[in-house]
Amino acid sequence: MKIDINEKKDKPLLSRQEVRGIVTFDKASPSNDEFSANMAKQLTVELDRVMVKRIATRFGESKADFLVYVYNSKKDLDAFEPKPSKWVEKMKKKEEAKKAKAGEAAPAAEAPKEAAKEVKEGA
């Protein structure tokens, strides 16, 4: 994958930089995760500050135009970028699963302690 940057615009009020250009790829068009990792490496910024807004493949070519926002910090990215509803639901499910596991693990962890106390008292 080859990334050519054509334009960089600073947007200080939005705490970001807009980067436009062309990406050339060999096989299939790159995924957003793969592309954002390569962009972060090329721009020498942290991956969590890069937001891929668009990768538009040209018909019949192995090239795509892209638009990427590079925020000043992770906090700025979280403040300005909307979270997709699927992502929010997925994160809620993960947190509920963690709480459920922690809730099941806590009583199981307390049970051996109580059994040990009963053994010491009985002896």
For range 65-87, the mean pLDDT: 85
According to the model, what pLDDT value does residue 123 have?
52
Q: Domain 1-81's class?
A: alpha beta
| pTM to 2 decimal places | 0.64
| pLDDT average, residue stretch 60-72 | 91
The percent of the chain in helix, strand and coil, each rounded to the nearest 5, is 50, 30, 20
Question: Taking 90 as the threshold, does the pLDDT of residue 18 lie above it?
Answer: yes
Residue 103: the pLDDT is: 74
Contact between residue 89 and residue 97 where contact means Cβ atoms under 8 Å apart: no
Mean pLDDT of all residues belonging to the chain: 82
Domain coordinates in residue numbering, the chain: 1-81, 82-123
Taking residues 45-49, report their average pLDDT.
89
86-111 pLDDT, tens digit each: 777 788 888 888 888 877 755 545 55
Q: Are 36 and 53 in contact (CB under 8 A)?
A: no
Q: Is the model more confident about 28 or about 121?
A: 28
